[in-house]
Amino acid sequence: MVDSLPRSRLAIAVLLAVLAGYIDGIAFIYLGGYFVSFMSGNTTQSGVELAGGDLAAAGFGFAVIVAFVVGVMAGTAIRSPRRDRGWIVLLGVAVMVAVGAALASAPPVDANAVTGTALLAVAPTALCLSLAMGAVNTVFSGSGGPSLGITYMTGALVKIGEGIVGALRGGERTGWLRYLALWLAIAAGAIGGAIVYAVFGPAALWFAALFAAGVAAVSSRARASRGSTPA
């Protein structure tokens, strides 16, 4: 949980939240209203499309969800309970985002006229980005189970609300600020992604790949400084 993270690792978590928000902001525009990190939103969207009889749109959303789960599985398989391999996961994330950027040559999907053909054209990019975002959530995994979700903030908002009430009742005064930092980071990332996308289009994803590689380097150096201790 965020409460138990030392400051150095909390800083990395905040950077990853910025990355997740940035990529999801770009993907939301490029995919015409679908997400690559917020699977609750995709589940609702796909359910509505399925109920409305749009099998192509529903299938696209469910495929992105499956890709996200596969990314979680891949990141978990790479991690080790004895050695911190989060930086290796991040290198994989950087590669997948770069592949997604390279594949993002299709025109963006018009959110007002989503068609099966348009979704099929952007599907390779969507699947690569969703794989990457699934893997991001395993960077802080412990012995086989996720301990901190980076790409979804509903739980963080709950912790903020609980923490504020706890502080008012005389409990821990600042613990909720860590969750607020994560929420602000993902929000700032989404804003930045939308702004950069408006200027560069899908090529904005290349900046995300470079950023992920940079965070991997920072994580690797942090690991070296504290030794090969468990995450």
The CA distance from 32 to 182, in Å, is 26
The CA distance from 11 to 132, in Å, is 20
Q: What is the pLDDT of residues 45-99, one digit of tens each?
A: 999 999 999 999 999 999 999 999 999 999 989 876 666 678 899 999 999 999 9
pTM of the model: 0.89
The CA distance from 80 to 219, in Å, is 15
Q: Is 187 exposed, middle or buried (0-12, 13-18, 19+ CB in 10 A)?
A: middle
Q: What is the pLDDT of residues 129-171, one digit of tens each?
A: 999 999 999 988 754 444 567 888 888 899 899 999 999 998 8
Q: In the chain, where are the structural domains located?
A: 6-222
Give the pLDDT band of residue 202 (cuts 50, 70, 90): very high
pLDDT of residue 30: 94
pLDDT of residue 198: 97
Structure tokens, 226: 């504290």
Structure tokens, 178: 């860590």
5 touches 118 (CB < 8 A)? no
pLDDT of residue 115: 76
